[in-house]
Amino acid sequence: MMPIRSIAGSLLLAATLGLVACGGATDVSTSEPPAAEEMAAAPDAAELTPVKFTLSWLFQAVDAPLAIALENGYFAEEGLDVTYERGFGSADSITKIAAGQYDIGEGDMYSMIEFNEQNPDNQLVAVAIKFNRSPFVIVTKAESGIDSPTELEGSNLAAPAGDGPRRLWPVLAKEVGAKADSVEWTNVEPQLRESLLAQGNADGISCFSISCLPVLHQKLGLPPDDLNVFYYNDHGLDLYGNALIVRKDFLEENPEVVQGFVAAYLRGLKEALADPEAALAVVTEVADDELFDVAIESERMAIATERLYTSPEVDTMGLGGVDPDRLAATIDQVVEGFGLANTPSVEEVFDGSALPPQEERML
């Protein structure tokens, strides 16, 4: 597989050339215009079922599956009129999905487990996996001499108090044989986290790789070789990343809607993985925002393509699903790390009934 830096370079070059060639608007369509009979068969807008979707954060390159499904009309083919809004973190998006502000949304499945325990009468469930591997990391400078998670003992780490990787540090420490309570944590606002590391005011930070690494590399001048990145997935916590989440009652009452959304979304994901450069161009066009940083987003897309979307599990099982044994093991770890009273079953956390047939989800 192409190294991250090479992928990012290719994505940035392709996106830049596309923007120059099109005078600021990127047209990635190369197919012939649809035949008249195909146009006639397209669903009428009045016949589409409206679906409100929330992202977990800002609209970014990693939202290429959604962008492609919107731009290419895949949701409409499923009879859906999908609109979306930005999110403000998994905890916020999960709460709003549960409140009915959105029909479907993206968020951290493990944070959903905690929400479900606290809200037994308003249960949520994951219906498809976006990231097969978690973006949870701890990052240190190479010059620090901290070359493994075990060597984090006695260090000072910085992160917001509710940061997911920070909350699971005790479980990671247990897995690697480190003393969890030997680490001193500094509370920091999310936008200041990377600066603390760059300025030497913290030995390391916990974060989402797709959020902190592009900033460290491109905004703060720390190239990849100057950093050590410890993915939780590589050190005993084989967590899944973000998932598509719905209310259980919404799934029960609207199975066709959820099935259609998941099918269109995974179709967009397959196309994004087949051609990340074209996917980035679609996202750039849909974003239509002068603040959209193509260089940052190209690296974000490269990290996700290399580390998050796929794994050997996806090669054998296809996109969107889970390995029940793997999910059960990570549920146990998160229950321990979050200090939850109950351990939900795999079926209570993930419902695969909305997934397309496996052959349609294979890469």
Spatial neighbors of 175 by CB under 8 A, at least 6 apart, are: 235, 236, 237
Cα 203 to Cα 215: distance, rounded to the nearest angstrom: 17
For residue 312, the surrounding DSSP H or E stretch is: helix 312-317
Can you give the pLDDT at residue 253? 98
Q: What angle do the packed helices 4-21 and 294-303 form, to 10 degrees? A: 140
DSSP 293: -
Helix or strand or coil: residue 230? strand
Q: Report helix, strand and coil shares of the chain as percent, to nearest 5.
A: 55, 15, 30
CA atoms of 109 and 59, how far apart (whole Å): 19
Please give the pLDDT value at position 263.
98
- Give the domains, in start order, of the chain with CATH numbers: 4-27+45-133+240-361 (3.40.190.10), 136-235 (3.40.190.10)
pLDDT of residue 343: 98
pLDDT at res. 288: 82
132 and 320 Cβ atoms separated by less than 8 Å: no
Tokens of 175: 């897995």
Whole-structure pTM over 0.85, yes or no? yes
Q: What pLDDT shows up at residue 282?
A: 97
What string of pLDDT tens digits covers the 363 residues of the chain? 344 334 444 444 444 434 333 333 333 333 444 444 444 455 666 799 999 999 999 999 999 999 999 999 999 999 999 999 999 999 999 999 999 999 999 999 999 999 999 999 999 999 999 999 999 999 999 999 999 999 999 999 999 998 999 999 999 999 999 999 999 999 999 999 999 999 999 999 999 999 999 999 999 999 999 999 999 999 999 999 999 999 999 999 999 999 999 999 999 999 999 999 999 999 999 998 888 999 999 999 999 999 999 999 999 999 999 999 999 999 999 999 999 999 999 999 999 999 999 999 999
Per-residue pLDDT, 148: 96
Residues contacting residue 300 through CB under 8 Å, at least 6 positions apart: 60, 61, 62, 210, 214
